Structure 1
Amino acid sequence: MPAEIIEIFPDNPDMRKIRQVVDALKEGAIVIYPTDTVYAMGCDIFNTRAVERLCKIKGIKPQQNNFSIVCHDLSNIATYARVSNTAFRLMKRAFPGPFTFILPATGDLPKIMQTKRKTIGVRVPDHEIPQKIIEMLGNPIITTSVKDDIDDIIEYPNEIEVIYDQNKEKADIIIDGGWCGIEASTVVLAIDDDFEVIREGLGDFDEINR
């Protein structure tokens, strides 16, 4: 069954539609949603079947996943990742915003999300739609960018028609939140206090690391 498109305005999200998305996530749906960087695909981190399905869509084994999670705020992050005082101060300046921090994972991260690397990427996007979804759901969702790999050039589609055509058989719900962006987040390795930018993206690391 092709994905359902749900239009939600980011400036004033319709909470009935947010509830519709949250209920679907609880039942194992794969959802495409806007962020402050690019459109992302995800599911409830506690729905094992949904995570397995997302891994299959991405063509990877669950134990090899490199998914990140979207959290509501810094206190939410501390449940699933170990955050040093130095990292906390840095993330307080970065979030909400276009950054992903790779941190040591805690045992509270669902088993299917745990990998041999024992790390997890975390995001707190500056976007009302994922924020409202996570707040209502009560726990993080997975974030993995919706992208095209064409001749080794990564492109992030932004037109909802293109996203639908490419993903209508993969996702259950595609949220049309309008234009969000075509540049991914800046990824910061923060497993210790020797921070390293491992992917340059929309976020300016020098700006938050002053």
Structure 2
Amino acid sequence: MLTKIYERNPSEKELQRVVDVLERDGIVIYPTDSVYAFGCSLRSPRAIDRLRRIRGKSSGELAVVFGSIAQIAEYCRVDNAAFRTLKRNLPGPFTFVLAASSRVPDKALERRQTIGVRIPANAVARAVVSALGCPLVTASVREDGEAEYTTDPELIHERYGREVSLVIDGGTGDCVPTTVVDLTGGEPEVLREGRGELR
């Protein structure tokens, strides 16, 4: 299923359709401020397992999308220095690596102690998290060679429509991934250069 949700004024009816899918262990593809991404509820171990299979993801490569820095602090250990870095750069095209707290399900961590966290500067992504009432486990839609299959929601639907329950058409996406920054040491360490410029 392909559903259009506008960033400027996300439809509550369409958001509820997305929430219904996520609450039934479904996986959706949604727009972010970088690339389109797969998402499922952090509360759904079955969906997290399926997401790993679809993406062929190893344990450390799933991130979690939050609605606010306060929500990140509920699931991760955030010291004062990390908080200031998050506040300066989020919402934005970043994935920050933080130490996970016991609130993050083992299924999302797979024996790791850290988790990548995001708050995209995209109203649709944040509206989905807000309507769901819990964070989204996420992984980028990536394709070798054919960029349009990561940026055009109709082509994304054509390719992944049988593997996911719903694709949100939020307009043309980007093909540059997030900047990944490790905040678990003394100083922020850029692990991957992407769209975001760290402030």
* Equivalent position amino acid for 2:3 in 1: I
Partner residue in 1 for 2:158: 165
What does the per-residue CA deviation read over 1:144-202, in whole Å, with 9 as the maximum and x for residues that have no partner? 1101134xx98872112221122112111000010232211100011122211010000
Instruction: For 2:148 and 2:177, locate their aligned partners in 1 and report how far apart those are by CA, in whole Å.
Output: 10
Contact 1:29 1:172 survives alignment (8 Å) = yes
Instruction: For 1:58 and 1:160, locate their aligned partners in 2 and report how far apart those are by CA, in whole Å.
Output: 17
Instruction: For 1:47 and 1:17, locate their aligned partners in 2 and report how far apart those are by CA, in whole Å.
Output: 21
Cα 1:164–1:103, aligned 2, differ >3 Å: closer, same or farther?
same
> Considering only aligned residues, what root-mean-square deviation do their CA atoms show, in Å?
1.6
Cα 1:94–1:155, aligned 2, differ >3 Å: closer, same or farther?
farther
SS of residue in 2 equivalent to 1:49: helix
Which residue of 23, 30, 33 maps to 2:30? Answer: 33
Which residue of 78, 82, 95 maps to 2:77? Answer: 82
Partner residue in 2 for 1:116: 111
Partner residue in 2 for 1:66: 61
Cα 1:155–1:5, aligned 2, differ >3 Å: closer, same or farther?
closer
User: TM-score of the superposition, structure 2-length normalised?
Assistant: 0.95
* Equivalent position amino acid for 2:27 in 1: I
Partner residue in 2 for 1:23: 20
Contact 2:151 2:173 survives alignment (8 Å) = yes
Contact 1:67 1:142 survives alignment (8 Å) = yes
Instruction: For 1:6 and 1:118, locate their aligned partners in 2 and report how far apart those are by CA, in whole Å.
Output: 36
Cα 1:195–1:143, aligned 2, differ >3 Å: closer, same or farther?
same
Contact 1:82 1:105 survives alignment (8 Å) = yes
Gaps of 5+ in 1: none
Q: 1:36-185 alignment to 2 at 5 Å?
A: 36-60=33-57, 64-150=59-145, 157-185=150-178
Gaps of 5+ in 2: none
What does the per-residue CA deviation read over 1:95-121, in whole Å, with 9 as the maximum and x for residues that have no partner? 011111000010000121123331000
Partner residue in 2 for 1:200: 193
Instruction: For 1:7 and 1:154, locate their aligned partners in 2 and report how far apart those are by CA, in whole Å.
Output: 21
SS of residue in 1 equivalent to 2:15: helix
Instruction: For 2:169 and 2:55, locate their aligned partners in 1 and report how far apart those are by CA, in whole Å.
Output: 22
User: TM-score of the superposition, structure 1-length normalised?
Assistant: 0.90
Cα 1:99–1:60, aligned 2, differ >3 Å: closer, same or farther?
closer
SS of residue in 1 equivalent to 2:150: coil
Contact 1:38 1:156 survives alignment (8 Å) = no
